């Protein structure tokens, strides 16, 4: 029976649960040896992806991606983080910020399965739609 990447990720999460850093590190090394012996190293990227999803769900962590034209100041990133925490009070927020030339101005925030699009391009599109009605 072939083990899926999601099953490996679940097993890894259960293996390291409640262990200190040293014991968890050894468990991960043992887990990698198991993957190697099962010829499953090619699944590593998928396993990491599912592990992060499972870990974040278990510990109420929201991963958010912030897209802007230019880099945001630490103060603005803190405000975005506070806003996201206010939306879901029981969760921690981890923000990654990326600059994109596709953004003319404004901000796009992707978190969980939601997108908050307050970009200039979207606002102009909404204005155009409302004017054509």
CATH number reported for the structural domain that contains residue 83 in this entry: 3.40.30
Domains identified in the chain, total number: 2
Which contacts (CB < 8 Å, 24+ apart) does range 97-105 have? 97/65, 97/66, 97/68, 97/71, 97/72, 98/65, 98/66, 98/67, 99/67, 99/68, 99/69, 99/70, 99/71, 100/67, 100/68, 100/69, 101/69, 103/67, 103/68, 103/69, 104/69, 105/69
The answer to whether 108 and 121 are in contact (CB under 8 A) is: no
The reply to whether 54 and 20 lie within a common domain is yes
Q: Per residue of the chain (133 residues), give pLDDT as tens.
A: 688 999 999 999 999 999 999 999 999 999 999 999 999 999 999 999 999 999 999 998 989 999 999 988 999 999 998 988 888 877 888 999 999 888 989 999 998 888 999 999 999 999 999 998 8
Residue 69: give the domain boundaries: 61-132
Q: What is the tens place of the pLDDT at every residue in 44-67? A: 999 999 999 999 999 989 899 999
The reply to whether 17 and 54 lie within a common domain is yes
The reply to whether 65 and 128 lie within a common domain is yes
pTM exceeds 0.75, yes or no: no
């Amino acid at each position: 029976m072939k083990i899926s990447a999601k099953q490996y990720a679940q097993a890894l999460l259960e293996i390291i649960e409640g262990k200190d850093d040293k014991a968890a590190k050894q468990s991960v090394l043992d887990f990698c040896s198991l993957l190697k012996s099962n010829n499953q190293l090619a699944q590593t990227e998928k396993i990491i992806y599912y592990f992060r999803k499972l870990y974040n769900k278990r510990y109420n962590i929201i991963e958010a991606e912030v897209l802007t034209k230019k880099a945001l100041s630490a103060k603005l990133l803190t405000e975005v983080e506070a806003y996201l925490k206010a939306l879901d009070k029981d969760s921690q927020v981890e923000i990654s910020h990326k600059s994109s030339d596709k953004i003319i101005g404004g901000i796009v925030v992707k978190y969980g399965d939601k997108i908050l699009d307050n970009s200039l391009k979207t606002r102009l599109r909404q204005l155009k739609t409302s004017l054509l009605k």
